[in-house]
Amino acid sequence: MNMKLVVLLAGFGLFTVIKGYAQQKELDTLQMLKGKPADITQPLPVMKGWLDDAHFLLSKRQQPDSPFVTVKVDCKTGKETVVPDENHAAAGNTRAVYMKSGAIYLAEPDGSEKKIISDNGKKSNPVLSPDNKYIAFTRDNDLYTYDIENSKETRLTNDGSEVILNGYASWVYMEEILGRASRYRAFWWSPDSKRIAFFRTDDSDVPVFNIVGEEGAHGSLIRERYPKAGDPNPKVKVGIIKPEGGNVVWSDFNQDTDQYFGLPYWRPDGAALWIQWMNRGQDTLVVFETDITTGAKKELYAETQKTWVELDDMGKRITFLKDGKQFILQSDKTGWNMLYLYDINGKLLNPVTNGQYTVTAINHIDEKNQLIYFTCRKDNSARYDFYKVKFNGTDLKRLSFGEYTHQADVSPGGSYFITTYSNVNEPPQMALADTKGNIKKNLGSAKGSSFYEYTLAKTELVRVKSEDGKYDLPMKITWPLNYDPSQKYPVLISIYGGPDAGTVYDGYSFNGQQQWWAKEGLIQVAMDHRASGHFGKEGVNYMHRNLGYWEMKDWIQCVKWLIDRGADKDRIAISGFSYGGYITCYALTYGADYFKYGLAGGSVTDWSLYDTHYTERFMDTPRENPEGYKSSSVFTHVDKYKGLLRIYHGSLDDNVHLQNSLQLVKRLQEAKKHFEFMVYPGGLHGWGGNQALHSQNENNSFIYRNLLRKEMPGIMLR
């Protein structure tokens, strides 16, 4: 359950009245439910890449209804020149490699392709070497290379099996450490193409969870090596090998130690491998440099926190400088994610940023002028701003402008940036600016020609004081159309929750479904708690050993605020999936005095049923924290349940097992509680096709029956 979510332009639709424009029309049913309302918004131009420090390519319409064309833009003059298609072919590797129908294909720059590896065996993740001469891939849990020039395949490892995985990740590593985008890949080319680093994983001690399929006369069985909280983890070794084969150099770690390894980093010159090591308790991180010829290691960086340290799964903890002598490190050890400058031997030179705000990304590093351009949540935790600072931490300057959330794209030499920006009142706009902060050219607006002609529901971002007075909790609300504060309205809260997984941001979005609910009289809400990331790691730390508690405390305050402003206390609904499903179930039990209805999909219901790495990061093991597991469990609070909960789950969910919902169902049955339950056969952690439409229809019907208290119109059916 990888929950490092960054939602830059999230939220509901919104509208403000602009002086001088009379709003006369309301959206009709077809506009809201069967397609985007015409011309309220329009596509922005699409940035296609920088050509150099002062020129870029932009795909845009020259007239509102004309087709998109590609133009070359001169940053100094603002002049646009149409570029013929053949003059702006996508740049990239001279070769490409991919899987098709179980075989590996090689595509050449002239457009030709050929099947190069097609024998039996389960193959995955073909990756070209940086010099485009080799392909590395895995087959049946062994690591292989293919020498393109000599058409030679080499098997690098020989002990792959059901439980020994070479270059292929164990489930918990894929899900929680390397990320689903890895597609289970656990090998990495060195920058000089001379070596491959890989994980060798022993899953022998990891318990098997059996997932049963319903198809056929006798069903099916999927055996998944899945460590639940407190279970034995996979044993991992880090190896280094040459693409032509030979002996594996093993990094000097004891495989039997209870430990984790994070995403490794090759030093830019390929001369050493940097390995992120973490203890089972996840409160200590050490970065080691490994000698690629002997496997000997030396410590470069160490960090311990009182709660936990995040194990980098996105390759953003360390950014090497091109000079090969320094690197930038990101850490939230002060309670706020900051930047630090180190030399290549691990000596701290100086903090680059310092303060109570969160750096979210490094956009560009200008080594010549000793400048770092970065995105942060400094001036308003619900907004992303663009800043620059010198390597030595001086001359911090905001480059973004106005009260907007910004996404910046910096030119190669750091002279210009393109920003896409919006807030809850303004659709996205795009502009070119220089890195002194001056706007040079407006590039486009998402406002359509009829933006001001319709009466739309109002959306606003508010702050609610927490019960203890420590935090101003952000909440985004779309009010019913023609909202009357003297009336009572039902509330639909869309939630995710979890540590550092906020969803409330000051950005614009527009959709017809949201406008439909507003027309029907729903108050639509997204809200974030103290540990959502708005208040740095300081706030997130509240959730240590105590999932669910502070979320409920803070969200109950938000519900009280809503009730004071027209919400019907008997029609408060909450809806979420995955961790959001957990929070929904918890709200309908622990928080049942305030939350009356719930739509819970793919839910964790007891943290002893979820995986080691995610759960123990926050909760420690069940043996270490029995009271925390008890208080955070939905099962503990079933006796408080008194509303109506709709539970739904995919039968083949490999992430949050159906077991979670089934155990809750049994407890509700034993307590003689009324609830609704739907299973989606063959569904994973989500499902598509007509099952997805069925799920949407059933949820909408639930909302109509219980919140709007009328029949769902047929036009709502998907």
Mean pLDDT, the chain, as a whole number?
93
515 domain-assigned? yes
Q: Mean pLDDT throughout 164-191?
A: 97
Of 82-96, 157-171, 300-314, 652-666, the least confident: 82-96
Q: What is the pTM of this model?
A: 0.93
Same domain, residue pair 224 and 309: yes
448 domain-assigned? no
Instruction: Choose among 404, 405, 408: nearest CA to 388.
Output: 408
Same domain, residue pair 32 and 106: no
Using the predicted structure, report yes or no on whether residue 22 has a pLDDT greater than 60.
Answer: no
Using the predicted structure, report yes or no on whether residue 95 has a pLDDT greater than 90.
Answer: no
Using the predicted structure, report yes or no on whether residue 431 has a pLDDT greater than 50.
Answer: yes
386 domain-assigned? no
Using the predicted structure, report yes or no on whether residue 528 has a pLDDT greater than 60.
Answer: yes
CA distance 416 to 493: 40
pLDDT in tens, 204-227: 999 999 999 999 999 999 999 999
Same domain, residue pair 65 and 112: no
534 domain-assigned? yes
Same domain, residue pair 696 and 593: yes
3-state secondary structure of 248: coil
Using the predicted structure, report yes or no on whether residue 20 has a pLDDT greater than 60.
Answer: no
Q: What pLDDT is recorded for position 1?
A: 65
Same domain, residue pair 60 and 142: no
pLDDT in tens, 586-612: 999 999 999 999 999 999 999 999 999
Same domain, residue pair 66 and 127: no
Q: What pLDDT is recorded for position 477?
A: 97
What's the one-letter identity of residue 351?
P
In DSSP terms, 98 is beta-bridged to 105
CA distances (Å), 588 to each of 460, 668, 675, in order? 27, 12, 11
Using the predicted structure, report yes or no on whether residue 5 has a pLDDT greater than 80.
Answer: no
Q: Mean pLDDT throughout 660-671?
A: 98
Same domain, residue pair 55 and 105: no
Q: What pLDDT is recorded for position 131?
A: 94
Q: What pLDDT is recorded for position 6?
A: 30
> Residue 86: which pLDDT band, with cuts at 50, 70 and 90?
low
* Domain final residue, candidates 293, 315, 337: 315
Same domain, residue pair 50 and 157: no
Structural domain that includes position 60: 46-87
Helix (H) / strand (E) containing 612: helix 612-619
Residue 179's contacts (CB-CB under 8 Å, 6 or more residues apart) are 2, 313, 314
Using the predicted structure, report yes or no on whether residue 328 has a pLDDT greater than 50.
Answer: yes
Same domain, residue pair 550 and 681: yes
Contact 674, 647 (CB under 8 A): no
Two tokens at 532? Answer: 């959502």
Q: What pLDDT is recorded for position 118?
A: 77
Using the predicted structure, report yes or no on whether residue 313 has a pLDDT greater than 90.
Answer: no
pLDDT in tens, 608-662: 999 999 999 999 999 999 999 999 999 999 999 999 999 999 999 999 999 999 9
3-state secondary structure of 547: coil
Q: Mean pLDDT throughout 568-597?
A: 98
Between 66 and 261, where is the model more confident?
Answer: 261
CATH of the domain at 281: 2.140.10.30
Using the predicted structure, report yes or no on whether residue 36 has a pLDDT greater than 50.
Answer: yes
* Domain final residue, candidates 263, 291, 315: 315
| DSSP one-letter string for 92-152 | --S-EEEEETTEEEEE-TTS-EEEEE-SSS-EEEEEE-TTSSEEEEEETTEEEEEETTTTE
> Residue 10: which pLDDT band, with cuts at 50, 70 and 90?
very low
Contact 191, 266 (CB under 8 A): yes
Mapping DSSP onto H, E and C, the string for 58-87 reads EEEECCCCCCEEEEEEECCCCCEEECCHHH
Report the percent of the chain where pLDDT is more than 70. Answer: 95
Q: What pLDDT is recorded for position 170?
A: 98
Angle at CA 458, nearest 5°, toward 453 and 464? 160
Q: What pLDDT is recorded for position 312?
A: 77
Give the other-Cβ count within 10 Å of 216's Cβ: 7
Of 116-125, 205-214, 270-279, 616-625, the least confident: 116-125
Same domain, residue pair 74 and 163: no
What is the number of alpha carbons within 13 Å of residue 12 lying toward its C-beta? Answer: 30
Same domain, residue pair 112 and 78: no
pLDDT in tens, 98-111: 998 889 999 988 88
181 domain-assigned? yes
CA distances (Å), 218 to each of 21, 67, 571, 684, in order? 66, 55, 44, 20
Using the predicted structure, report yes or no on whether residue 2 has a pLDDT greater than 60.
Answer: no
Same domain, residue pair 124 and 272: yes
Of 160-169, 443-452, 516-525, the least confident: 443-452
Q: Mean pLDDT throughout 278-288?
A: 98
328 domain-assigned? no
Instruction: Choose among 170, 176, 190, 178: nearest CA to 127.
Output: 190
CATH of the domain at 670: 3.40.50.1820
Domain count, the chain: 3
> Residue 85: which pLDDT band, with cuts at 50, 70 and 90?
low
Among left, alpha and beta (phi > 0; psi -120 to 50; other), residue 668 is alpha
Q: What pLDDT is recorded for position 13?
A: 32
Q: At what angle do helices 579-587 and 549-563 cross, to 10 degrees?
A: 60
631 domain-assigned? yes
Contact 58, 71 (CB under 8 A): yes
Q: What pLDDT is recorded for position 84?
A: 83
Using the predicted structure, report yes or no on whether residue 441 has a pLDDT greater than 80.
Answer: yes
For residue 207, give the DSSP letter. Answer: P
18 domain-assigned? no
pLDDT in tens, 183-212: 999 999 999 999 999 999 999 999 999 999
| DSSP one-letter string for 238-281 | EEEE-TT--PPEEPS--TTSSEEE---EE-TTSSEEEEEEEETT
